[in-house]
């Protein structure tokens, strides 16, 4: 079973030369040491590339299996459920990536993961690597309790101690377009950065309380919390590498925007 590129030519270039140039330029913006886990954005690459790039600029070549976990934007995923598919490969404009299957992978979920952009935006960066790792993808939308978060963490840790994880999540979607403008832009940005630091610092209970007890529009919070929880269990140290908004990229001031944070764990 092969996952085709569903967003090449719309959310990012389908021309390999142009796409590779975009990725290479984004890697020049911020150099950081290699990391094993990451929280990365997933908007169209004109917006998200500079947030994705830090994880791949000096990629840990010892990583042989990489899992991307994101939210499902287009299909319902039951609470506390992680869905995954046994894709044999992932097609990108820069070549094919070899897939691997997690326990519990089901072919029936293929249409849902096929049309999900939260996992696809990161695939070209993997394909551009000199020696790409094997890839698997999964979707999770909501955890009902810290207990179910721990159970999901145990499940992934038990499958492979050496598994590296990317949590795919955009941060606050702000403004009338997204139905969220109760706070000021300044308050939203301050709150986003605070939440990113909770995840980086492994303050899982505080982060879970925020995500489940406040109105917010952070779309991949469950995947972010999952990666942060596993990173904490493995004794990793997290760092908030960047935070910016779509307005920063587009050179606009005010109005609707989407925010993006990059967190790396080592």
Q: What is the CATH number of the domain that holds 259?
A: 3.40.830.10
Number of structural domains (the chain) is: 1
pTM, entire model = 0.96
Question: What local confidence, expressed as pLDDT, does residue 253 receive?
Answer: 82
Residues with Cβ < 8 Å from 242, sequence gap 6 or more? 30, 50, 51, 54, 260, 261, 262
Question: Within 10 Å of residue 161's Cβ, how many Cβ atoms?
Answer: 7
pLDDT at 94 over 70: yes
CB 42 within 8 A of CB 259: no
Outline where the chain has alpha helix (H). 16-27, 45-57, 110-114, 117-120, 123-127, 146-159, 185-200, 204-213, 221-233, 246-250
Q: Which domain holds residue 167?
A: 2-265
Question: What local confidence, expressed as pLDDT, does residue 255 receive?
Answer: 82
Query: Mean pLDDT over all residues of the chain?
Result: 96
* Per-residue confidence band for 161, with pLDDT thresholds at 50, 70 and 90: low
């Amino acid at each position: 079973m092969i996952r085709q590129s569903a967003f090449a030519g719309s959310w990012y270039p389908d021309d390999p030369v142009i796409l590779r140039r975009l990725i290479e330029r984004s890697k020049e913006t911020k150099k950081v040491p290699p990391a094993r886990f990451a929280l990365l954005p997933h908007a169209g690459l004109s917006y998200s590339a500079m947030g994705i790039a830090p994880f791949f600029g000096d990629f840990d070549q010892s990583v042989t299996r990489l899992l991307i976990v994101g939210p499902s934007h287009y299909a319902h995923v039951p609470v506390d459920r992680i869905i995954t598919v046994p894709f044999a490969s992932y097609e990108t404009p820069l070549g094919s990536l070899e897939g691997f299957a997690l326990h519990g992978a089901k072919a029936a979920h293929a249409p849902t993961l096929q049309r999900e952009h939260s996992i696809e935006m990161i695939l070209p960066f993997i394909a551009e690597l000199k020696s790409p790792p094997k890839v698997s993808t999964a979707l999770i939308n909501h955890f009902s309790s810290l207990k179910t978060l721990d159970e999901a963490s145990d499940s992934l840790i038990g499958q492979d101690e050496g598994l590296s994880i990317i949590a795919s999540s955009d941060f606050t979607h702000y403004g009338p377009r997204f139905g969220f403008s109760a706070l000021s832009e300044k308050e939203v940005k301050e709150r986003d950065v605070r939440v990113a630091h909770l995840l980086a610092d492994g303050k899982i209970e505080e982060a879970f309380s925020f995500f489940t007890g406040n109105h917010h529009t952070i779309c991949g919070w469950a995947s972010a919390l999952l990666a942060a929880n596993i990173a904490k269990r493995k004794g990793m140290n997290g760092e908030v590498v960047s935070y910016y908004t779509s307005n920063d990229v587009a050179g606009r001031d005010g109005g609707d925007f989407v925010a993006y944070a990059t967190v790396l764990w080592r």
